[in-house]
Amino acid sequence: MMTTHIRTTQTAEHIGQRVKLKGWLHARRRMGGVTFLILRDGWGTIQAVCASGEAIEALERAGAGVESVVEVEGTPAAQSRAPGGVELIEPALTVISPVREAAPVTINKPTIQAGQAAILDHAPLTLRHPARRAIFRMSAEAMAGFRATLGAQGFTEIQSPKIVASATESGANVFGIDYFGTRAYLAQSPQFYKQIMVGVFERVFEVGPVFRAEPHATPRHINEYVSLDIEMGFIENHFSVMAVLRGVLAGMLGRLEETCGAELALSGAIVPQVPERIPHVHFQEAKALLFEATGEDTREEPDLSPGEERWLGQWAQRQWGSDFLFVTGYPMVKRPFYTHPEAGDSRWSNSFDLLFRGMELVTGGQRLHLFESYVEALKRAGMPQAPFEHYLEAFRFGMPPHGGFAIGLERFLMQLTGESNLRATTLFPRDLHRLSP
């Protein structure tokens, strides 16, 4: 009879039965004449107890150290002192891929004792560390929660092109490509395409890479990241979009709680409550609050500094007990040309940022929808109409009031886990100084 191949996380369901597991030799240690092996597979780890030297003979013969790929037959037994309350006894090992080299970074201690550069340089190895791996399992589940929430509300997924003929919002901060002798660019965002697709499906979303050629090195910026985008038609104003965003966040976090108990614990994440109604403050009011609290007058500045965002995050926590805060109405001068102005006062916009624990996580808003408004807006911005003709065709032929938002996936994970650098929650980060692995 063939022994069943099970996952480490299924061990407790097979107490007393002979089973087979496959994975990596995560750790090996000797205590009181007994050798403990920790086997890691794609889902978790399990301890195997080798009471005799015979069990580890296969390792010795192959000179197989940690990270060797092995097959272990053994019998699950309840053991309160073992991690997870279960261990494998009477194990028989087979070596599949022996590793004889010492790892440049140790990945079988609770935390990786290495600097950020070494951790990223050796990503193929360090991503195997249970705590680092946990972050990217949560990343997958966050995407799944995003899609499921939107799918249930009639949103259709799109995949827009990443090679584009002209910069999305302005000529700045785009990567250029040689496209068969023509100059082309990497998309800064799916903005134009998701708007065009509102004309087709009313409600669309996209999960995909965006590229920003911003030449600054900060802990909260990288040059390629995953953007969770939506765009929806027939809205009242930006508050309609904010209501959908509230549900999306609850859906993503709910999914994590449902599927990622172990990963949340391993990564030290604290799952926030999403208030039934996320508090919101107008940009003008936010500036007034900041002035009052700090005495520093930045009311004429058209944006919030990272420090101001942090202060507002703390304020929302004090005032409303909320990890989230919407800042609405950002000055039109700081928003892209397609932004819809505030009814009655066109200095301000129907746009918002969502701060999560004092950091901008989402940007969104209502867009212009009438063709004439676009013609005017481009003129006002001093931008030519010609490069936008294809985009403008959507508005020329009928578009409803619409809006949307974009969540930065890596930032979501960074704020959730309390990491201080975006590179820790990016699978293979790209920045000014890093292009590999």
Question: What part of residues 154-193 is at the interface with a second copy (CB under 8 A)?
Answer: 154, 156-166, 175-180, 182, 184, 186, 193
What lies within 8 Å, CB to CB, of 238 at 6+ separation is: 328, 340, 350, 351, 352, 364, 365, 366, 403
Q: Rule CB under 8 A: is residue 275 a binding residue for a second copy?
A: no
Find the shortest distance in angstroms from Cβ 171 to a second copy.
15
Among residue numbers 395 through 434, which ones bind a second copy (CB under 8 A)?
396-401, 409, 427-430, 432
* Total residues at interface with a second copy (CB under 8 A): 95
Question: Counting contacts by CB under 8 A, is residue 335 touching a second copy?
Answer: no
If binding is defined by CB under 8 A, does position 124 make contact with a second copy?
yes
Residue 313 DSSP SS3: helix
Q: Minimum Å distance from CB 385 to a second copy? A: 14
When asked if residue 367 is in the footprint of a second copy (CB under 8 A), the reply is: no
Residue 186 to residue 173: CA distance in whole angstroms: 10
Burial code (b: 16+ CB inside 10 Å, e: under 16) for 59-77 equals beebebebbbebbbbbebe
Span interacting with a second copy, options 22-30, 283-291, 326-334, 358-366, rule CB under 8 A: 22-30
324 forms part of the interface with a second copy (CB under 8 A): no
Residue 35 forms beta bridges with which residues? 30, 50
Q: How far is the CB of 397 from a second copy (least distance, A)?
A: 4
Point out which span in 61-69, 86-94, 111-119, 293-301 binds a second copy (CB under 8 A). Answer: 61-69
Please report whether residue 239 would count as binding a second copy according to CB under 8 A.
no
Residues 87-116 binding a second copy (CB under 8 A) are 96-99, 101, 103
User: For the residues of 181-233, what is the DSSP string, one character each?
Assistant: TEEEEE-S-SHHHHHHHHHHHSEEEEEEEEE-------TT--SEEEEEEEEEE
Which stretch, 119-127, 242-250, 316-324, 357-365, contacts a second copy (CB under 8 A)? 119-127
Q: Are strands 45-50 and 86-97 parallel, antiparallel or unpaired?
A: parallel
14/310 with CB nearer a second copy? 14
Instruction: Tell me if residue 276 falls in helix, strand or coil.
Output: coil
Which residue among 14, 128, 310, 334 contacts a second copy (CB under 8 A)?
128
Alpha carbons 324 and 328: distance in angstroms, whole number: 13
Question: Going residue by residue from 215 to 234, which x/- string records binding to a second copy, judged by CB under 8 A?
Answer: x-------xx-x------xx
Cα 390 to Cα 313: distance, rounded to the nearest angstrom: 40
In the complex with a second copy, the residue whose CB is nearer, 153 or 317, is 153
For residue 75, the minimal CB distance to a second copy (Å) is: 21
359 makes contact with a second copy (CB under 8 A): no
152 binds a second copy (CB under 8 A): no
Residue 68 CB, shortest distance to a second copy, in Å, is 5
Q: Report how far residue 66's alpha carbon sits from residue 251's, in angstroms, rounded to the nearest whole number.
A: 39
How far is the C-alpha of 145 from the C-alpha of 151, rounded, in Å?
Answer: 10
Residue 383 binds a second copy (CB under 8 A): no
- Helix/strand/coil for 108: coil
Q: Which of 275, 216, 246, 180 is nearest to 405 (CA)?
A: 246
Separation CA 103–CA 63 (nearest Å): 14
In the bound complex, what is the minimum distance in angstroms from residue 204's beta carbon to a second copy?
9
Asked whether 326 and 312 are in contact (CB, 8 A), the reply is no
Q: Which of 24, 315, 338, 348 binds a second copy (CB under 8 A)?
A: 24
Say if residue 327 is exposed, middle or buried (CB neighbours under 10 Å; 0-12, 13-18, 19+): buried
Among 87, 112, 133, 246, binds a second copy (CB under 8 A): 133
